[in-house]
Amino acid sequence: MSLKVDYLKYTLQFRFEAGTSRGTLTEKTTYIVRLSDDEDPSVVGYGECGPLKGLSFDDRPDFEASLTQYCRDFNDLDLQLFSWNLPIILNQVISPEFPSILFGFETAMLDFLAGGRRVLWESDFSHGLRPLPINGLIWMGSPAFMRQQIEEKLQTGYTTIKLKIGAIDFETECELLAMIRERYTPEQITLRVDANGAFSPAEAMAKLERLATYGLHSIEQPIKAGQPDLMAELCRHSPLPIALDEELIGQMEYVHKFRLLKKIQPQYIILKPTLLGGMRHCDEWIELAGRLNIGWWVTSALESNIGLNAVAQYTAQFKHLLPQGLGTGQLYHNNFDSPLVIQEGQLRHNPAQPWDLSQLTVGNSIQSK
């Protein structure tokens, strides 16, 4: 057995201009990792390294050069892979400075160990028997565009809706929330908002108090990350539950994770495996959240269906889940066909629907490292 890893740089094209408080997205570059044994090339494990521009800890100019070097380092070791040595390999080969590469390698190895079927964890979800509850995501844009998205989500059966806020006029955003609340009570439709750190410290509490009048479930990251004292103060006094998102990025040591959560004491944390260093790091966050009585849910980070599939199957290991942020598979024109489908506000895995990864081999040469 001689394990080899390589990757393909792949550009995902959005179906629409996706607005956030950090700007508008029209495409996303990702890196699809594949792991195989040259003695049995029929078994291939796929993973995805997809740092988010302007957000990921490893959004840096030397990202691809580093990924190339990690592939070479892995190949030079002539490794054998078992479930027990997977975390050892990750720790010794890849720096924690590159969380999305950790996620890509971890999921490629898990897929390989499970036979290269894109079923990383056997569960009721992967067998098509249990769907995952998800929220419907409303992207920023013109008021008309946001209203259109809201109507589409309500008509297709979502009972939890999450609005990106912070980029357009605050009064207009409040009008959109009021429009939903005029039609649906909090018991009928759960509303979440995500500010992506858009509020200034001076205005944050007043805006939280205003938003609380709409019966919201929570707000993600009201102020920019890196202000733990102020965030702790907001969490103590906010009438609206606060969820940390960007605040968790870059916290790779267990003791640092614990100190952060203990200091801020948020009501919720948002777990994005691509941004946090993969499933092992999410396990640590979940364990700490349980000890500190903090709620959590998992969110994709605009991965292709390869990364989304891994995140969804990881999430499905847990029971009694809040609606998760896993509804991003329909964002792209050129996503990979997969068993993942959304029906009535739930994410399902249909084992009868095959994967189509032909974009990774037809017309594209995998870069051999």
For residue 341, the cross-strand partners are 348
- Reply yes or no on whether 164 is catalytic: yes
Nearest to 153 by CA among 172, 166, 139, 165: 139
Write the DSSP assignment of 3-16 as a string of letters.
EEEEEEEEEEEEEE
Nearest to 197 by CA among 65, 81, 55, 331: 55
- Which entry of 28, 164, 207, 257 is annotated as an active-site residue? 164
Burial grade of 102 (CB within 10 A; 0-12, 13-18, 19 or more): buried
Between the alpha carbon of residue 341 and those of residues 13, 344, 345, 355, the distances in Å are: 19, 10, 10, 12
Instruction: List all residues 6 or more positions away from 177 whose beta carbon is below 8 Å from its beta carbon.
Output: 163, 191, 193, 211, 214, 216
Q: Which long-range contacts (CB under 8 A, 24 or more apart) does 23-27 make?
A: 23/54, 25/302
Using CA atoms in the order 328, 330, 336, 341, what is the torsion angle rounded to 10 degrees? 90
- Reply yes or no on whether 272 is catalytic: yes
- Enumerate the H helices of the chain as residue ranges: 63-76, 86-93, 99-113, 143-155, 170-183, 204-212, 228-237, 254-264, 273-276, 279-291, 305-315
- Distance (Å, rounded) from C-alpha 305 to C-alpha 340? 8
Q: How far is CA 176 from the centre of its chain?
A: 25
Helix-, strand-, coil-residue percentages of the chain, each rounded to 5? 35, 25, 40
- Distance (Å, rounded) from C-alpha 134 to C-alpha 160? 7
What end-to-end distance do the CA atoms of the chain give, in Å? 18
For residue 229, the cross-strand partners are none
Question: Which residues participate in catalysis according to the annotation?
Answer: 164, 272
